[in-house]
Each structure stands twice: as C-alpha cells, then as structure tokens.
C-alpha cells in the first residue's frame, strides 16, 4: 500500500513574531492541508515554552475540526499524566460532535515541558506518570468501552454521549510507548523527529508484542505504525537546504538545552559556529529529510520501509510561513495526494 501522509504541527514560534501568530499560522496551514489531501493534521502539546505555542492541542483540534471538511484532526499528543482521564474523554467526545469520524486522540506520557512545569500542571506528576497505562484504560472506557466492574467511577458517563468515538493512538520515543500500544491493540507513532535512537527497535517491539482486539470497537486486529518525522522541501534542492539552516541552528540550541524561537535563515547564516558545533551538525546532515520534492519522497519512503511504518506525520518548522506551506504542497504533489470526497454532514 502507498505510504500515508499526515502533518504534525507544534505551532512553532518564529523569531520576530509572537506566539499568537504561530497559532494563526497553524489554523491557516490546516485549511490548506485539508485541500491538498493529507490524511491527518496533528497538534503537539508543549508548556512553558519559548519555541512552541501549542499548549492546548485539544482547543486547536476543535478549531480546526470546525473549519475543515475532509482531513482527520487530532493530537500528538495529549500528555495524559497532566490531566484527569474523564476530562480528556469528555473533550474528545465534544470534538467528535463537531466532526464525527474525523478525530484522533494521540496519548503520550512525556511531560512536554520541564519537571517544574509538570508539577505545576499536576502536583501528583510522578504518580500520574506511573499510572499511564491505567489512564489509557480509563480514557478508552469513558470513550465507550466501559470501565472495569471494580472501578470506583464506573457509573459515571463521559459527556456528551455521541455515536462516534475518536481513534486513539499511543505516541512515544522509547520502547515504553511501543509496549503500551501493543498491549492495548492501538496504533502507535514513534517520535523520530525527537530522536532516531532505538526507533527501529521500538517499532519491532510494537509489531511483535501486538495483541489484536478484534471484538473491541476502536482497537486493531493488526499493528499500525507511524513515524513523526522532520522533513522539508522547496522548488529546488539548494533552496530546501538554505531553508533548513534555521531549523539546523535551532536543533543546535536544543541539543545544548536551549529552546528559543525558531531563528530566521538570515540569523542562522550570520551565526558564528564553533568548530565543534559545525562538526555536530555535519554528523546530522546525512540523515536529514531535506532536498527537492522527489528526493524527500524517496527518503521518507525508505525510512518508512526500514521501520515497516504505514504512515509518516511530517513536521516542517520553517521561519517563513509561505515556504512552509510550499513545502507541504510540494510533498502532497510528489506523493500524488488527492483530497478525499467530502463526508456527509451529520444530521
């Protein structure tokens, strides 16, 4: 089967522009993605960040679902230990009421922030992280499967009661998330853009440990894997590599523990790199998904094949929003995407 394409958006804050503009750029890009034929549009969650404005992906899901017609919309993901399972289930039942059959609920365990911020979000952060599998079970229960007979809140109904349910995903960048997804029989996405270390092993653990749930609505009978991948293209290979310079400098900052707004290409070109910094970035370049559209397409297909992944969710932070839109449009054309027929409006 052909590789499926999705978009992963962190609502990246660009230098010289505010976080509010980053949110508006997300909304605009989603409308274009709907027209270009992408299968999914996923929103990330980050807190206390100068780099990313997407602190409430569930709100962006609702806004995008209400202003698109075809594309699936979801989270990559909701960082579940910050929240009550019931509240998450209710938020996504509301989203299903807005766009029936088009909502994805990606669940993650990482804090999406520093440790202090995690405790500000949930004073019981440590205990909550250890309860992640239990919380996944609770969310599934409140989305329609029902809670175990001995659960203290089994008589509570998540509102509103709607006829459809979101597709639940597990997200991660380690073996842990792969094991959780396999146990529950859910689709799994590995965050390759965060780290490629152990990615093939994690996907193998997911496939080999997968427990099919043929009799449970919303679960899978066979494993379904995806990769969250950074990729960037332009009309020419040279233009793509020039655009990449801003992301490359930001990656250098990230690897040294700094998370500033995304610098412009001009700021990156003016930056005074040390020899050690240049060597570090040169080691990364051979594996970066950057180039002309057909080059990036070939790289993404090869990466997906190595991981036996059926989908890639593409992350393309770019200082110039027009260049970012062009990158996604070119990839849609390279992969031959076509917008799916309009879904029938709910009665």
Q: What is the pLDDT of residue 163?
A: 96
For 15, other C-beta atoms within 10 Å of its C-beta total: 15
Give the distance from CA 175 to its chain's centroid.
Answer: 17
For the whole model, what pTM was predicted?
0.95
Q: Mind listing the pLDDT tens digit of every residue in the chain (347 residues)?
A: 799 999 999 999 999 999 999 999 999 999 999 999 999 999 999 999 999 999 999 999 999 999 999 999 999 989 999 999 999 999 999 999 999 999 999 999 988 788 899 999 999 988 998 999 999 999 999 999 999 999 999 999 999 999 999 999 999 999 999 999 999 999 999 999 999 899 999 999 999 999 999 989 889 999 999 999 999 999 999 999 999 999 999 999 999 999 999 999 999 999 999 999 999 999 999 999 999 999 999 999 999 999 999 999 999 999 999 999 999 999 999 999 987 665 544 33
CA atoms of 305 and 310, how far apart (whole Å): 8
The answer to whether residue 123 is domain-embedded is yes
Q: What is the pLDDT of residue 341?
A: 65
312, 6 in Cβ contact below 8 A?
A: yes
The answer to whether residue 281 is domain-embedded is no
Q: Pinpoint the alpha helices (H) of 68-174.
A: 85-98, 115-121, 125-130, 132-140
CA atoms of 78 and 58, how far apart (whole Å): 8
The answer to whether residue 257 is domain-embedded is no
| Tokens (6 digits) for 301 | 């297909």
CA atoms of 91 and 298, how far apart (whole Å): 38
How is residue 123 annotated by DSSP?
T
Question: Looking at the DSSP assignment, which residues form a beta bridge with residue 43?
Answer: 9, 75
Question: Looking at the DSSP assignment, which residues form a beta bridge with residue 74?
Answer: 42, 104
CA atoms of 221 and 235, how far apart (whole Å): 41
The answer to whether residue 270 is domain-embedded is no
CATH of the domain at 87: 3.20.20.30
CA atoms of 233 and 231, how far apart (whole Å): 7
The answer to whether residue 272 is domain-embedded is no
What domain range includes position 327?
4-237+290-334
The answer to whether residue 256 is domain-embedded is no
Distant-in-sequence, close-in-space partners of 304: CB < 8 Å, separation ≥ 6: 3, 227, 310, 311, 312
Quick one: which of 231, 270, 93 has its CA closest to 168? 93
Distant-in-sequence, close-in-space partners of 254: CB < 8 Å, separation ≥ 6: none
What is the number of domains present in the chain?
1
How is residue 310 annotated by DSSP?
S
The answer to whether residue 18 is domain-embedded is yes
Question: Looking at the DSSP assignment, which residues form a beta bridge with residue 12?
Answer: 52
The answer to whether residue 275 is domain-embedded is no
Query: What b/e sequence results for 203-216 when a residue is b if at least 16 CB atoms lie within 10 Å of its CB, and e otherwise?
Result: bebbbeebeeeeee
Q: What is the pLDDT of residue 346?
A: 38
């Amino acid at each position: 089967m052909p590789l499926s394409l999705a978009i992963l958006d962190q609502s990246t804050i660009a230098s010289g522009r505010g976080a509010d503009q980053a949110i508006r750029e997300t909304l605009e890009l989603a409308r274009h993605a709907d027209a270009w034929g992408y299968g999914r549009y996923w929103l990330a969650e980050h807190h206390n960040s100068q780099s990313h404005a997407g602190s409430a992906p569930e709100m962006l899901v609702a806004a995008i679902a209400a202003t698109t017609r075809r594309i699936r919309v979801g989270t990559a993901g909701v960082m579940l230990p910050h929240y009550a399972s019931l509240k998450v289930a209710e938020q996504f039942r509301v989203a299903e009421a807005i766009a029936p059959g088009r909502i994805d609920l990606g669940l993650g365990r990482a804090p999406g922030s520093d440790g202090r911020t995690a405790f500000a979000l949930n004073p019981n952060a440590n205990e909550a992280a250890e309860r992640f599998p239990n919380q996944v079970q609770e969310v599934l229960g409140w989305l329609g499967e029902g809670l175990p007979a001995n659960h203290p809140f089994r008589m509570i109904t998540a509102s509103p009661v709607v006829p459809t349910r979101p597709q639940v995903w597990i997200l991660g960048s380690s073996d842990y998330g792969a094991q959780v997804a396999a146990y529950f029989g859910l689709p799994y996405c590995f965050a390759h853009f965060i780290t490629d270390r152990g990615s093939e092993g994690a996907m193998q653990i997911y496939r080999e440990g997968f427990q099919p749930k043929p009799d449970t609505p919303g679960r899978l009978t066979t494993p379904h894997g995806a990769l969250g991948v950074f990729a960037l293209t332009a009309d020419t290979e040279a233009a793509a590599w020039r655009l990449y310079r801003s992301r490359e400098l930001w990656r250098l900052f990230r690897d040294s523990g700094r998370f500033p707004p995304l610098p412009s290409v001009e700021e990156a070109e003016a930056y005074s790199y040390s020899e050690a910094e240049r060597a570090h970035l040169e080691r990364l370049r051979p594996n970066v998904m950057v180039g002309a559209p057909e080059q990036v397409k070939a790289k993404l297909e090869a990466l997906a094949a190595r991981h036996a992944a059926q989908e890639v969710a593409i992350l393309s932070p770019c200082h110039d929003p027009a260049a970012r839109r062009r990158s996604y449009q070119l990839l849609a054309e390279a992969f031959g995407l076509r917008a799916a027929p309009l879904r029938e409006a709910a009665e």
